[in-house]
Amino acid sequence: MKRYIAWLAAAIVGAAIGASIISSFYTRAIRVLASSPLQSMEDTQRYRCTLSMAVLDRLETNQPDRAKLLLAREIAMYYKQSLGLPESPDRKKMLEHIDTLRAKCTVLNEEISKPQ
């Protein structure tokens, strides 16, 4: 009987040690996975802010053609290679709007027409 109690105690201690090791691993993994989207959102926000500042600076220094060029390049980049689903309804709607704008804006048309 004492042998079974010893085996049971060893199993419980082993399970407790294993659980603590696994929980520390999963805690680190969850922390990394949770911070990745936040970092991505921060990077996106920083990029958008930088682009907006550049465009605003061009407009403030009476360089509207340079501002248009910066914006047209961003739109052309989305037009040529989107990271989202290629057949999503939102993307189709955006592409239709870009095509409409492309007919009016020569800078945008030139940027989209450039080879990658």
Task: Give the whole-angstrom CA distance, residue 22 versus residue 27.
Answer: 8
Domain count, the chain: 2
Q: Do 53 and 72 sit in the same domain of this protein?
A: no
**pLDDT tens, residue by residue, 18-59:** 777 776 666 676 666 666 666 777 788 888 888 888 888 888
What is the pLDDT averaged over residues 9-25?
Answer: 74
Domain of 81? Answer: 63-116
pTM of this structure:
0.61
Instruction: Decide: helix, strand or coil at residue 65.
Output: helix
Per-residue pLDDT reduced to its tens digit, 66-109? 899 899 988 898 888 867 677 788 888 888 999 999 999 999 89
pLDDT at 100: 92
Q: In this structure, are 108 and 69 located in the same domain?
A: yes
Does residue 15 surpass a pLDDT of 80? no
Q: How far apart are alpha carbons 100 and 37 in whole angstroms?
A: 33
Dihedral over Cα of 58, 61, 59, 72: its sign: negative
73, 106: one domain: yes
Instruction: Determine phi and psi for 46, rounding to 5 degrees.
Output: -65, -45
Residue 88 and residue 75 in one domain = yes
